[in-house]
Each structure stands twice: as structure tokens, then as C-alpha cells.
């Protein structure tokens, strides 16, 4: 008999790097549209989905920078989303301005959010020892639930120097080792920061990033500098988690 997939437990939408700014012209030099226009179109697309996701996971850089009043613009735009949004802080965010969830459960799936904004020269990331200890406790426990990890910064190298040396979590290898005891139940590590869709698979663990709703970057092998991909459309991912499987569907959209 053909294999039968177990029923999905959770559907969520992965978004990241909205970089919302109250100035409607902000960001036009790096994309075909402003950051504000991209975020508004993202919300419109999410509200028009032909199904109801359990939640939206935003993996950081919600705002362009934490200047006065920017989170009023964030609330005005993302507050129009019909689905609940779970936030992580990115390197451009002010933690205190966002409601952050360190851990939560949806329909038997355990979600753990790890702050990667420890002391490091931006835009690099770093996970502090208290956060790593929390991650180790989760992964070393005998908890049988499927596990999803979320963070902002890219964890593993891909062979593109600007991505690996300029943007990456500086203790990413330590982060990865902390996950290994739970690799049999980890259904994915979802992150943002890199403004593109990249999947990396190591030791049975899937790492998946997502496009920005604003601008995208190239990451060719050997690329030493940050290069904007001005032709790439913004996007989001629809993620399905079942007891024994992860499915990621990529969606791109134009911004008028």
C-alpha cells in the first residue's frame, strides 16, 4: 500500500523582515517598492488566503529601526492582519516594543523562539548562554511533542562570504549542536534576516529562511559583498507541520 501522510497538526505562515517605516518612500532605492508598500501588500495577501492559518510567524526586523513612532506604523499595518501574529525581534527591532513569545504550543506542536540578538557587531547575531541553556533544556528533555525552533539570524554557512561572515549568528555551530539531541522530533528551524528563501539540511535538521516583504539579497557562492536582487519579488511561506513531516510552500507576489 502507498504511504499515508499523517494529518496536519499546524498550518502557519512564515514572514520576515518587513522593515516597516512610516515614510512611504523609505526603501525605494533597494527594491521596486517601498518597505511600507510591501508590508501593506503582504497583509492584503495574508488576508486573502483561501484557508485560515493557525498563526503567522514573524521572524524579526519588523520595523526599519526603533526611532520614535515607528511602532505606531507597525501596529497600523500589521494590525490589519486577520490572523494572530507571533513575533521575534530582529537586529533592527526594539525588544520592548514587541510582544514576544519565548515558547508556545499549538495543537500539540511545541514552538520555541530563541533570541539571536546577543552582543555581536551588527548585523551579525549571537545567542547568549542563558538562551543556549534554555534551548539545550528543551532539546535534551524527553518531551515527545514535535518541535519547531524560530530565530532571527542565519545559523549555518552556505559558502557565500557576505552571508556567512557578515550576517551569520557567530555561535551558530554551538546553536546547531544544542539541537542534536532532539533532531528526531525537530520539524524545522525557521529564520529571517537574509531576505531570501534558503533551505539548509544538516544532521537531519531543516533550516528554512523566507523572503522579505520589502527587498531581497543575492547569495551566490563566493559573493563577498551584499548585493540587492532588485528583480526578485517579495514573498512568504506556508508551512504545514504533521507528526512526521514538514511541508514548506513558497509564495511570491508583486507590489503595485
- In sequence order, the 6+-apart residues with CB closer than 8 A to the CB of 132 are 171, 174, 175, 178
DSSP state of 79: T
Residue 140: pLDDT over 70: yes
Give the residues across from 56 on adjacent strands.
13, 85
pLDDT band at 256 (very low <50, low <70, confident <90, very high): confident
The model carries a pTM of 0.97
Query: Position of cell 523562539?
Result: 113
Phi and psi torsions of 45, nearest 5°: -65, -40
Give the model's confidence band at 1: pLDDT under 50 very low, under 70 low, under 90 confident, else very high: low
> What are the structural domains of the chain?
8-252 (3.60.21.10)
Largest CA distance in the chain: 61
Residue 231 burial by CB count (10 A; 0-12/13-18/19+): exposed, middle or buried? Answer: exposed
Q: What is the pLDDT of residues 181-202, one digit of tens each?
A: 999 999 999 999 999 999 999 9
List, for residues 47-99, the tens digit of each pLDDT value. 999 999 999 999 999 999 988 889 999 999 999 999 999 999 999 999 999 99
Specify the residue for cell string 511602532: 71
Question: In this model, does residue 3 exceed pLDDT 90?
Answer: no
Is 115 in contact with 132 (CB distance < 8 Å)?
no
For the stretch 93-122, what's the b/e string if a residue is b when 16 or more beta carbons lie within 10 angstroms of its beta carbon?
Answer: beeebbeeeeeeebeebbbbbbbbbbebee
Amino acid at each position: 500500500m502507498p504511504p499515508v501522510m499523517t494529518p496536519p497538526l499546524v498550518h502557519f505562515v512564515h514572514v520576515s523582515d518587513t522593515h516597516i517605516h512610516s515614510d512611504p518612500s523609505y526603501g525605494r532605492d533597494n527594491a521596486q517598492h517601498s518597505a511600507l508598500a510591501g508590508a501593506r501588500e503582504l497583509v492584503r495577501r495574508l488576508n486573502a488566503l483561501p484557508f485560515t492559518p493557525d498563526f503567522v510567524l514573524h521572524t524579526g526586523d519588523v520595523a526599519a529601526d526603533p526611532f520614535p513612532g515607528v511602532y505606531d506604523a507597525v501596529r497600523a499595518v500589521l494590525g490589519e492582519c486577520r490572523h494572530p501574529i507571533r513575533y521575534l525581534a530582529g537586529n533592527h527591532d526594539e525588544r520592548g516594543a514587541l510582544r514576544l513569545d519565548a515558547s508556545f504550543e499549538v495543537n500539540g506542536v511545541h514552538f520555541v523562539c530563541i533570541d539571536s540578538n546577543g552582543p555581536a557587531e551588527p548585523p551579525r547575531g549571537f545567542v547568549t548562554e542563558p538562551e543556549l541553556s534554555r534551548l539545550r533544556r528543551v532539546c535534551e528533555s524527553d518531551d515527545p511533542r514535535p518541535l519547531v525552533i524560530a530565530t532571527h539570524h542565519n545559523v549555518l554557512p552556505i559558502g557565500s562570504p557576505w552571508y556567512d561572515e557578515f550576517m551569520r549568528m557567530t555561535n551558530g555551530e554551538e546553536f546547531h549542536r544544542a539541537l542534536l539531541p532532539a533532531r528526531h522530533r525537530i520539524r524545522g528551524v525557521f529564520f529571517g534576516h537574509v531576505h531570501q528563501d534558503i533551505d539548509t539540511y544538516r544532521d537531519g535538521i531543516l533550516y528554512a529562511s523566507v523572503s522579505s516583504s520589502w527587498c531581497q539579497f543575492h547569495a551566490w557562492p563566493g559573493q563577498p559583498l551584499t548585493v540587492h536582487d532588485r528583480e526578485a519579488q517579495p514573498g512568504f511561506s506556508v508551512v504545514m507541520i504533521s507528526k512526521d513531516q514538514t511541508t514548506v510552500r513558497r509564495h511570491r507576489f508583486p507590489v503595485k
